[in-house]
A and B are shown apart, each in its own frame.
Chain A
Amino acid sequence: MEKNTEKGYIALLGWSLGAVEAAENFDRRYVVVAPDWAEEYCTQHNIPYVSWNFERLNDRSLEIAETLRDMGVDAAVPLFEETVEWAGAINSVLMKNPRLHGQAVLFRDKALMKRRAQLGGIRVGIFEEAHEKSDVIRFFKRVNQTLLKLDGDPDDPIHLKAFDKAGCLGHRIIRSPDEIEYISESEYPLLMESHLDGWEFAVEAWVWNGKIQFLNISEYVTLGYSVFVPATPELERYREQITRQIELLIEAFDIRFGQIHPEYFVTNDGTMYFGEVAYRPPGFKAFELIERAYGFNAYQASMLVFDPKATEEEVAAFFPTPLEDAKGCAGCFGVYPRKRVVSRLELPEETEQHPYFDYHELTAPLEATVTKRTAFGTHWGLIFFFGDDPQRMRDLLKHQEELDFYV
């Protein structure tokens, strides 16, 4: 792609092949900032590259910011949860705005984040930090007391999450007090949340100049298993309310630009509860789904809204109109083996023959025995679907949960 030399460079923090490919095909010059294991690959393929190991922020943090500034970089785009704070620190130097780092810290700490949201007038569930087992037991009991449960009634579950990990990593559901025993010491401290009996969904929003430029609603069929874009009409009817919520979020976190990925619950009466928000691309290849459904590249969208040299016309021309411009509905399903012992990958005939089936990224099993899942764990690969009807997509994704992909 012909590069526009009137604009500066954009730095991509973290290694993502999809992001590099998008950058290569975009008119902005770019540089990949990634750990040294990526160096050989980048050199081999002529990918502009700066080596950096993203560990804890330390005295040398200024060094990478200055290196990038001297190269002509205007903005740093975080690709992973681990690089969000780095992007904040680097951008505060590049854009001479120290508040950007503080803002990034909010995104990295789930307890701080919830508190900030609450201060901004956003509804959040009950939450608390836990430092040891007794905290969890106390929280579990109190939540269930508040719900006026009697002895013998099934308890309402609570959710435990690591402070600073992305998505489902470290996410556990506690349904009874004895399950608390299984939490290992190393998982503390953690965040505890009451369970919201609502409908969970995610939003990907690109913000520029303090305004939403594009808002996508990703519907979860089952958390940790499947997601699709755009959502069913049942969820899309809340679009206006959702937009209002995101605007509150932008105000509360003082977001001028960037791409955010918040999660919400909507309860039966239409009340929105804020779950959490990330300042980076969502997991589960949601960016690919958006590209499949809408035809624009979501990584390029992020590079654009981060770039201080982007113009109003450029931004307006880049994004399509939500829903109206969707070419179809794209969904994906994360496969977990259901059997304890598996020998090979074999897609169910009905999945493979379904007209919505696009392709899969599953790999042959490396080991015959499936390790038991603690928490939510990681899926073994994704299956992609594409079709016209979001409702049919939802039912199709739900159905996949009952099938064996590894036999």
Chain B
Amino acid sequence: MPLDTDSPAVEARLPQRLEQFDEALAVLAQAPSFSRAMRAKRVFDIARRVLLEPGGCQALEHRAAVIDRSGLFADSDWSTPQHLLPALTPLSLGSPDADTVMIESLSELRLLAVAKGDYPHALISAEHAHHYLTQVLALNLPRLFDMTSEAERETQGRLADVPRALFRYLAERIGFEFIIDVMIDEIWRLLEQRPLLTDSIRQMITQIALCQANPEIDLGTSGQGAARLVSSLFGPTQGCREDPGVDVYAERLSAMDIPGLQQEASGMARAMRDIGLVSPYHPVLLRYLLDHNDHLISEALGLSTTGRDCLLCYHQLIKALVDGIAYPATAQAIYGLAMLLERGILYQPPLAPALWRQLALPLSNWSRQRLTLAYGQSASPEARLLEGVLCMLGLPLGVGQGNNPTCQSARALSMWAYNDPDYLLQMVAWAARDDEIVMQFEGQPISSMTSGAGLSTGLSLDLDPVSLLVVPHLDRIYAEMGRLCIDREGDPHRWVNPEFHGWWAGRGFHIIVDVTTGKIEAPETFYRHFYATYHPFYNGNQPLVHPQPAGIAVTDSASRFIGWHAITILRAALGPDDTMRIYFFNPNNDSGQDWGDGVVVSTAGNGERFGEASLPFAQFASRLYIFHLDPQEQGAPADVHGEELADVMGYLRRSWGAERLTET
């Protein structure tokens, strides 16, 4: 039977397909929940053919809202688009299973409609969707440039046409020429927050490098800014400029004289300190120096006088640590170690012995299994955990909660790494060795073994090694503490936060929301107390002593309320433009967020240290709903200026307060 190749027949196909698609979608929308999966199969199959027609992607994008409402994404990971991980898309789009490829593709087209502002979504903002798609494009560059491997063709066959058509369309819609530039900006923006998890950033840089190296791809003028990223990762020094592979580099090192090694050391350090990522060549150098020229280790870590002093004081310990982590698979630990030394926390007496314990720590079977499951076998579980410990101690504000509802636990880990590092090491030892953590709640011991389920039922694996092992315990203990407060009047955070985080969390407590009605109560009093405690102009210019847990009402870019979220207030200080700002830690994986009404959380350029987020004081206050304070240090709430309060009230009224304020 001859194929219809004449153009009228081809043109007639799309409307025909769309008619079929709309019918199948309508059947799905009416199906009871139990037969949805069966009905969805037909939708996927027709959608695949629609997508491959000229104009098909566009037609599906226009149907984004209808597709969403039909229940096609229900009961799947795609039903909560705000939690989707870009890093997983290469897998789902490369799957031999057509339905998996299709659900991912349709979700991408749906988010495109969201990103373009055509489809306001309740769970994900346009900006978030745009970020997500940029990252998806970045991670799938080979598909965009049609560099799919033979292996892919073999497993997917003609199914591989689907992701290719999808990406051509996405790139066209988002603007092909600046994808790479946007991506580079995105990478820099993420790196400025110095996250502990760097795998997906590394993947993105790798993809850019591959495109640049391919003579068949014309990037035009875009991609210029990538050179620093690519060279820092793949050719940071003279000795490995052309990315020769770690074995060749090791050979070259053995032939170098002292000045040559010194140059390598300072080159490595410069690259690492510049972007916050460690090249796989770096551990090769460190291991060589450890065995032959250990006086250059300080140089290779790029240490300042503080760090160098620390290193000299604890020479044996540092050498042991370097020996434990100097592998290409755990390269990132080197940056963690350097930052740990720079922080000077080794001078706290318990820390050095606690790290010796960590070096010799026997891991439980469960811990070993989890670490292997999450990170594979490229490094031993012990080295992985040590890498995680060093990174968390060096970069306490790089902790992220992953795709889990465990912001409190992530916040606690970050706070301990920042404020009470030997306590963190104690937690790691208990969790990793004993599979049990015991904490006290008002004198009553609570074990993570006997506590019931936590907030997160199945913890995802997109976590740093320390979180991976400790968070399951903390999550259960936190939930148990909450259960113990069930009969008490008011918000349980009042009692749980100080008991869970540490003695320094203030026992005084203010909340702006009435727990039973959800309405906002006495906002001005709440803000007066907040200003009097935290604002240097009203608290006698007293800098914040300890990091304090606080609760935020998160809003999206349209200022709509999204949910409650746990953060840490780190400090209040004047920013570069002389406005008072609050600097805080957000356990969310990416702190740069648009909370609407001009409230845009900044992560760099306004005096932030790595990992900090910041907002002008009034804007921050307007999203705050819980904070702690020392009852003995209340300041003078009455002195707070009326204009300042009016400013905050305005931000509140224009956002999440709109429906919760009871005007009196």
Contacts and interface: CB of A to CB of B under 8 A. Distances in A.
B34 A47 contact: yes
Interface string B307-325: 0000000000000000000
B3 A350 contact: yes
Interface stretch (B25-33, B349-357, B633-641): B25-33
A17 B30 contact: no
Contacts of B33: 45
Nearest to A356: B16
Contacts of B3: 349-350, 353
A154 interface: no
Interface string B42-79: 10011001000000000000000000000000000000
Contacts of B4: 353, 355
Nearest to A400: B1
B13 A21 contact: no
Interface string B35-47: 1001001100110
Nearest to B52: A352
A352 B161 CA distance: 14
Contact of A17 (B34, B42, B45, B154): B34
A304 B30 CA distance: 21
Contacts of B34: 17, 20-21, 24, 41, 45, 47
A50 B41 CA distance: 28
Interface stretch (A132-140, A358-366, A369-377): A358-366
A344 interface: yes
Given A344-B96, A360-B45, A361-B41, A350 B32 contact: no
A355 B16 contact: yes
B32 A21 contact: yes
Contacts of B457: none
B1 A399 contact: yes
Nearest to A396: B1
B440 interface: no
B30 A25 contact: yes
A25 B49 contact: no
Contacts of A66: none
Contacts of A18: 35, 38
Interface in B369-405: none
Contacts of B31: 21
Contact of B13 (A47, A343, A355, A396): A355
B589 interface: no
A193 to B, nearest CB: 35
A20 B42 contact: no
Interface string B578-609: 00000000000000000000000000000000
B185 interface: no
A359 B41 contact: yes
Contacts of A20: 34-35
A346 B96 contact: no
Interface string A250-266: 00000000000000000
A67 B97 CA distance: 44
Given A344-B96, A344-B155, A24 B32 contact: yes
Given A349-B3, A353-B3, A364-B96, A344 B35 contact: no
Nearest to A343: B154
B60 to A, nearest CB: 16
A25 B32 CA distance: 8
A398 to B, nearest CB: 10
Interface residues of B, number: 26
A100 B96 CA distance: 50
B265 to A, nearest CB: 52
Contact-residue size bin, chain A (C-beta under 8 Å from the other chain):
20 to 34
Interface in A18-63: 18, 20-21, 24-25, 41, 45, 47
Contacts of B24: 359
A346 B35 CA distance: 26
A347 to B, nearest CB: 8
B490 interface: no
A359 B42 contact: yes
Contacts of B154: 343
B38 A17 contact: yes
Nearest to A364: B96
Contacts of A25: 30, 32
B158 A353 contact: no
Contact of A359 (B1, B16, B45): B45
Does more than half of chain A's interface fall in helix, strand or loop, or is it mixed? Answer: mixed
Interface in B229-276: none
B53 to A, nearest CB: 10
A359 B3 CA distance: 18
A364 B95 CA distance: 11
Contacts of A358: 20, 42, 46
A288 to B, nearest CB: 10
A359 B155 CA distance: 21
A18 B27 CA distance: 13
Given A24-B32, A47-B34, A352 B49 contact: yes
Given A346-B158, A359-B42, A353 B32 contact: no
B543 interface: no
A45 B42 CA distance: 21
Nearest to B34: A45
B225 interface: no
B386 to A, nearest CB: 42
A126 to B, nearest CB: 39
Interface string B155-194: 1011000000000000000000000000000000000000
B642 to A, nearest CB: 57
Nearest to A384: B42
A25 B13 CA distance: 32
Given A17-B38, A344-B157, A346-B158, A359 B46 contact: yes
Contacts of B158: 346, 349
A12 to B, nearest CB: 14
A350 B30 contact: no
A18 B37 CA distance: 12
Q: Of residues A20, A21, A25, A343, which shows the largest number of chain B Cβ atoms within 10 Å of its Cβ? A: A21
A352 B13 CA distance: 11
Contacts of B155: 344
Contacts of B49: 352, 357
B323 to A, nearest CB: 47
A360 to B, nearest CB: 6
A20 B32 CA distance: 9
A399 B49 CA distance: 21
Contacts of A349: 3, 158
A343 B156 CA distance: 10
A213 to B, nearest CB: 25
Nearest to A403: B1
Contacts of B97: 364
Contacts of B45: 359-360
Nearest to A23: B32
Contacts of B20: 358-359
A175 B505 CA distance: 89
B178 to A, nearest CB: 36
A353 B41 contact: no
Contacts of A350: 1, 3
23 contacts: A17-B35, A20-B35, A21-B31, A21-B32, A21-B35, A21-B38, A24-B32, A25-B30, A45-B32, A45-B33, A45-B34, A344-B96, A344-B157, A350-B1, A352-B49, A353-B13, A358-B42, A358-B46, A359-B42, A360-B45, A364-B96, A364-B97, A399-B1
Given A45-B32, A360-B45, 13 more contacts: A17-B38, A18-B35, A21-B35, A21-B38, A24-B32, A24-B35, A45-B34, A350-B1, A350-B3, A358-B42, A358-B46, A359-B24, A399-B1
Interface of B: 1, 3-4, 12-13, 16, 20, 24, 30-35, 38, 41-42, 45-46, 49, 96-97, 154-155, 157-158
Interface of A: 17-18, 20-21, 24-25, 41, 45, 47, 343-344, 346, 349-350, 352-353, 355, 357-361, 364, 396, 399, 407
Q: What are the 4 closest A-B residue pairs judged by CB atoms, nearest first?
A: A45-B34, A359-B45, A21-B35, A359-B42
